[in-house]
Structures are given as C-alpha cells and as structure tokens.
Amino acid sequence: MDKYNSKTSFQKWLSSINLDELSEKSRNNIENFDHYSKKLDFQAIMKVLLYAVYEELASFREIDRAFLDKRLCKEVGIDSISYSSISRRTAEMDQEVLMEIFTDLVGKIAKQKPSSKTTSMQIIDSTTIPLNKTWFPWAKFRKTKAGIKLHLNLCYLDKDNQYPENFTITNASEHDRNHFEVFVDKAEATYVVDRGYFDYQLLDKMDRDGYFFVTRIKKNTKVTVLEQFEVDSPKMTDGQIISDQHVILGGGVNHVTERLRLVTVLTKGQKLLRIVTNRFDATPNQVADMYQSRWHIELFFKHLKQNVVIKKLYSQSEQGAINQVILTLIATLLTYLVKIELNTKATLFLLKKTFHYLMFDPAEDWLGQFKPDD
C-alpha cells in the first residue's frame, strides 16, 4: 500500500470525489458559488461539512471550535472559520451539485460491485427525522412537531455489502407508497419492501412491467390458492417453511390479476410471515431469506442516526437541512468505497471509528488496520 503514503487518511477518504468530473452545469454552479467567497469555496465547505457529520459535531459553533486543531486547518486549506460563515454557506450550496456527487459515487461503486438479478436486491424503506416545530416551521408534520422523511433505496449485495443507491427527502407526513415507484428502475433486481407498501395494483403493475418483488401481505388479505408446491427443505436457520403456494390475492374489484407465489414462514420467535413474490425461480428458503434481509435497511438507518449527524440538523433553513442529509449519505459512500477497495468484511462503523483516530496520519496507518480477506 505504498501508494497511500503521500496522502493522509482524510485525503484518501475524500479522494473519490473529483469536482472536475462533474457536468458542465455543476461546474458552472460551483464557479458561481466560489465567486462570492474565495476563502470558503465549495470544496472547502464540502470538506468542512463532511468532516462535521462524520465526526458527529453537534453544531456550527462546534465546527468553528474544531478549527483550533491546526491539522484540520491544513487539510481544509483555511486557518480559521466563523460559525456564521459556515451556516450561510451551507444553505447556499447547490443541492443539484451534491446530488450529482452522490450519483457519481454510486456509479463508481457499481463498476466495482456489479449487480444482477441473482446477486442484488433493492431494499426500500423510510425513516423519519423529528424536528422542533418552532425552529423548522417549513417541515410541516403534526400540530406539535415538525419532521422530514428520508425515503431510501439500499442496494443489498450480500450480508457484508450494502450501500445507499438512491433516495428522496420529503416532509414527514408524506406516505411511503407515493415514493416507491421512484426507485423501481432495474429489471434485473428484486425489490424488497415491508407490508406498508403492499398494494394490489402496485404488485400487479410491477409483475406486468417485468420487475421482481418480495413483500409481506396484510393479515386481512384474501388468498385464493391455485396450487400447492412441495417443500423439500422446510427447516431454516431462522425458522421453518410452512407452505409454498401458487395464489391469486384479493377478490372482487380489489384483486391481483397476475398469479403470484406465497411462501409462509414460522420464525424462531413463532411469528408467522406470509411472503408474496413473483420470483418462481428461487427456493422457498431463498424467498424467506430475501425478505428477512430487509432488516439491513433498519440497521443502516440506525447507523445514520447513531454514528453520523443526521438527527440533529445544523441549519434551520430547508436548503441547509437537506444539504446536510445528502452530505451524510455521501460520507457513507466514501467509506464504503474504501471498504470495497480493501476487500474487507469490516463494517462501516469499524472503518469510521478507526478513521477517527487516524484521519490526519498517513493513509497507510488507517488502511493497514484492515488486511484484505483471503
């Protein structure tokens, strides 16, 4: 790993972002942004905020105080900074530029970790970030509180490899179902969602359009069994396959016209899961595993809320708040790119915690902690 010796860990972490590779429109927007502040230009404020969300700094004032560390000053290229300047420039950052950076990083991951129908799933869910109504009046939610909602598509390759591939941000009152189809664009992928997204017409449309899905049906869903499949291996690590059936769901005006597959699982905790899919090529155990992999998006949301700054928003402006959420996801992608380059099974959390202690040291000191898997 001698090639890393000339870089600090902080520089290595940021190295996947290349502003010169962005579209002409984004480069022009950055140039206009920089025109109004030569000291805190786009690249500098981006580095500052990525550092802040990843180091879990609590406020603009704390970010200001962080520049007492001269090593940080050297990395960012500025000697000092005021919290008012950070606040103003955060709200002025162009959201489209940040989104293009996010998309560019996702593209770099996809080139190194190509996916297919048999190797990837798209797990879709949302998480709500509650906010103070007085400070965030634009984030309308309920009478007594405000909030925003992060709708996320997590690309699941295997138990050691998942990363955010797409997302939208709305007011917390927005229903998840309204944003589901935004993420459905890969015919080779299998989309995994909880029963909160369950909808007869949606499943029917996805099947007709050639998209694969795995989800749970609701307790009151009417099921018409067309055929009972034999279950060769009913025992699972996490439970037992009760049945594997060819079915039609619903009745009357509310029905799924396409014929689907229903796999019923009894978990170790004695919970009955009725999982519907149009994947007839997979075994019942594989269908059950696909649905239970949905838990990884819950773990990802937990990581965002506990290990980076997404619950406490620095800026009270709508633009500044959304920019912070996007930067938090960008920070996660930067670490995941290091993870796949190292070919390590280490978690994002472990990579992040080690980075905390070694970010201003040579990159070799950080990367050397994670030997490639044999």
Per-residue model confidence as pLDDT tens digits over 163-203: 999 999 999 988 888 888 889 888 878 999 998 888 888 88
* Confidence class for position 1, pLDDT limits 50, 70, 90: very low
The DSSP bridge partners found for residue 149 are: 128, 170
The DSSP bridge partners found for residue 229 are: 244
Residue 117 scores a pLDDT above 60: no
Please check whether residue 173 is in contact with residue 195, taking contact to mean a CB–CB distance below 8 angstroms.
no
pLDDT > 90 fraction of the chain, expressed in percent and rounded: 66
Rounded to whole angstroms, the Cα distance separating 29 from 42 reads 10
Q: Which helix (H) or strand (E) holds 277?
A: strand 272-277
Residue 311 scores a pLDDT above 70: yes
- DSSP sequence for 74-90: HHHT-S---HHHHHHHH
Please check whether residue 96 is in contact with residue 26, taking contact to mean a CB–CB distance below 8 angstroms.
yes
* pLDDT score, position 372: 63
Question: 11, exposed or middle or buried, with CB in 10 Å at 0-12, 13-18, 19+?
Answer: middle
* pLDDT score, position 187: 82
CB under 8 Å to 18, separation ≥6 — which residues?
Answer: none
**CA pseudo-torsion sign 242, 247, 252, 254:** positive
**Of 268, 264, 224, 225, the residue nearest 243 (C-alpha):** 264
Structure tokens at 160: 């050691």
Residue 4 scores a pLDDT above 70: no
* Confidence class for position 257, pLDDT limits 50, 70, 90: low
Model confidence, pTM: 0.91
* Confidence class for position 97, pLDDT limits 50, 70, 90: very high
Could you read off the pLDDT of 313-344 as tens digits, one per residue?
899 999 999 999 999 999 999 999 999 999 99
Segments of 258-327 assigned E as strands: 260-267, 272-277
Residue 120 scores a pLDDT above 90: no
CB under 8 Å to 346, separation ≥6 — which residues?
Answer: 339, 370
Rounded to whole angstroms, the Cα distance separating 275 from 193 reads 10
First to last CA, the chain: 17
* Confidence class for position 374, pLDDT limits 50, 70, 90: very low
Q: Give the highest mean pLDDT range of 41-55, 137-151, 177-191.
A: 41-55
Segments of 68-208 assigned E as strands: 121-131, 146-158, 161-171, 190-192
Classify residue 137 by its DSSP letter.
T
Structure tokens at 56: 């879990």
CB atoms within 10 A of CB 206: 20
Rounded to whole angstroms, the Cα distance separating 191 from 174 reads 21
What is each CA distance from 191 to 168, 300, 349, in whole angstroms?
A: 17, 17, 26
Rounded to whole angstroms, the Cα distance separating 352 from 102 reads 19
Residue 91 scores a pLDDT above 50: yes
**Of 358, 372, 371, 323, the residue nearest 7 (C-alpha):** 358
CB under 8 Å to 359, separation ≥6 — which residues?
Answer: 8, 9, 10, 13, 366
Q: Give the highest mean pLDDT range of 136-145, 201-210, 245-254, 351-360.
A: 351-360
What is the arithmetic mean of pLDDT over 123-138? 92
**Of 49, 29, 42, the residue nearest 324 (C-alpha):** 49
* pLDDT score, position 191: 94
Rounded to whole angstroms, the Cα distance separating 83 from 78 reads 14
* Confidence class for position 6, pLDDT limits 50, 70, 90: confident
* pLDDT score, position 144: 85
Could you read off the pLDDT of 198-252 as tens digits, one per residue?
888 888 888 888 899 999 998 888 899 999 998 887 777 678 999 999 999 887 7
